[in-house]
Amino acid sequence: MARAVPLQLLALLGLAALAVAAAGANAAGRKMVGVYELRKGDFSIKVTNWGATLTSVVLPDSKGNLADVVLGYDTIAEYVNGSSYFGALVGRVANRVANARFVLDGKAYHLFRNDGKNALHGGKRGFSKVIWTVKEYVAGGDSPYITLYYHSFDGEEGFPGALDVYVTYQLSSRYELRLHMNATALDKATPVNLVNHAYWNLAGQGSGDILGHIIQLFASRYTPVDATLIPTGAVAPVAGTPYDLRAPTRVGARVREVSGGKAGVYGFDTNFAVDGDAAALRKVAVVRAGGGASGTGRVMELWANQPGVQFYTGNFLDGAKGKGGKVYGQHGALCLETQGFPDAVNHPNFPSMIVKPGQVYRHDMVFKFSF
């Protein structure tokens, strides 16, 4: 069985091999840790193959001023040692698995416990803590993109079966970012739930909290949770609850009405059941930056083809130092993680996340920005 490389060693390797890839370079098969930029006019993103992580999204506001609207770090070493999953591609199973255990085809599987007694975001060494291979990289042109690959071995973090995983980041139109994730089960049935864990602040990273942002979720149901954020198994209507975000709602108007998962912590950390056909690409959410004279006018529209979306309001951001020395305090950003339902492996009534040998898991996200 392959052995995990200590994170301290990976940090040194990452720094030693760090290469900012040249525009247009053919990086197929590259295994060193690098930072890769995609650019289309005044819209650009950066991605690193450490954790297939989205490290920046730069775009203008209504006055033409450019800003980076995702939280992150300045160095690869900080991503290696960080614990907030800034921009990461999370798997094999994102979100929580109760008691770090599930039964599949009559066999019990035990995962690494890294969230109390539960497993979170794939375990101690999930997909966000490994080096991905750059398969294709086109930095400019009409539709710049980068495709990254990772092979997850049978038994990695306790999950059954080998898995081939790909993710593509693409600037598909003027202000549109597309993510395509797919994973093929090679030899055993296995659960798969991949998410992108970008933290968004449409006023600019490090500019303050997102309590003035306006959010609209196209979801009429949600999955209630217990005190450890494990779903109870119910899929309940949002009508008449603080979770009803079907109409545009200021985040700060509701954030104190919902539990953040621990005593004294408040804010959303909630899976919503997205309305419509779970297999179809459909509108999930619209987020607008806070208004007023200093408002940026930025709007983000999210489309995806997953049954759920985790809305998280940065409840556990605790003053971490981010890009450019900015300090990220509580509610300094929000996450919209389209996904399968949390702990679906232990709830037969939830949409299944099991991928059988030869089958392909597919997850598409489209971020559309306007000003």
Helix (H) or strand (E) holding 81: helix 76-81
Instruction: Answer yes or no: are the C-beta atoms of 32 and 15 closer than 8 Å.
Output: no
121 labelled binding-site residue = no
Q: Which residues are within 8 A (CB) of 75 and not within 5 positions of it... i.e. 6 or more apart? A: 15
> Is 282 annotated among the ligand-binding residues?
no
Given the residues 37, 156, 157, 337, select the one marked as catalytic: 337
Residue 68 among known ligand-binding residues: no
Q: What whole-number distance in Å separates Cα of residue 215 and Cα of residue 246?
A: 9
151 is catalytic: no
Cβ–Cβ < 8 Å for 27, 20: no
What lies within 8 Å, CB to CB, of 319 at 6+ separation is 327, 328, 329
Q: How far apart are CA 104 and CA 115, in angstroms?
A: 22
Q: How far apart are CA 24 and CA 145, in angstroms?
A: 10
Phi/psi of residue 98, each to 5°?
Answer: -60, 135
Of 197, 213, 347, 363, the catalytic one is 197
Q: Is 96 annotated as a binding residue?
A: yes
What is d(CA 93, CA 86) in angstroms, rounded to the nearest whole number? 17
- Given the structure tokens 């690959």, which residue do they identify? 149
CB 111 within 8 Å of CB 100: yes
Residues 6+ apart with CB under 8 A from 303: 281, 282, 283, 284, 365, 366, 368
Residues 146-157 as b or e (16 or more Cβ within 10 Å = b) = bbbbbebeeebb
Structure tokens at 316: 């556990």
Question: Cα separation of 337 and 15, whole Å?
Answer: 29
Q: Which residue has the tokens 């954790």?
A: 51
Annotated binding-site residue? 197? yes
Q: How far apart are CA 148 and CA 42, in angstroms?
A: 24
The answer to whether 180 is a known catalytic residue is no
In angstroms, the Cα distances linking 199 to 86, 330, 339 are 6, 12, 16
Annotated binding-site residues for beta-D-galactose read 95-96, 197-199, 269
Annotated binding-site residues read 95-96, 197-199, 269
> Would you name the residues annotated as active-site residues?
197, 337
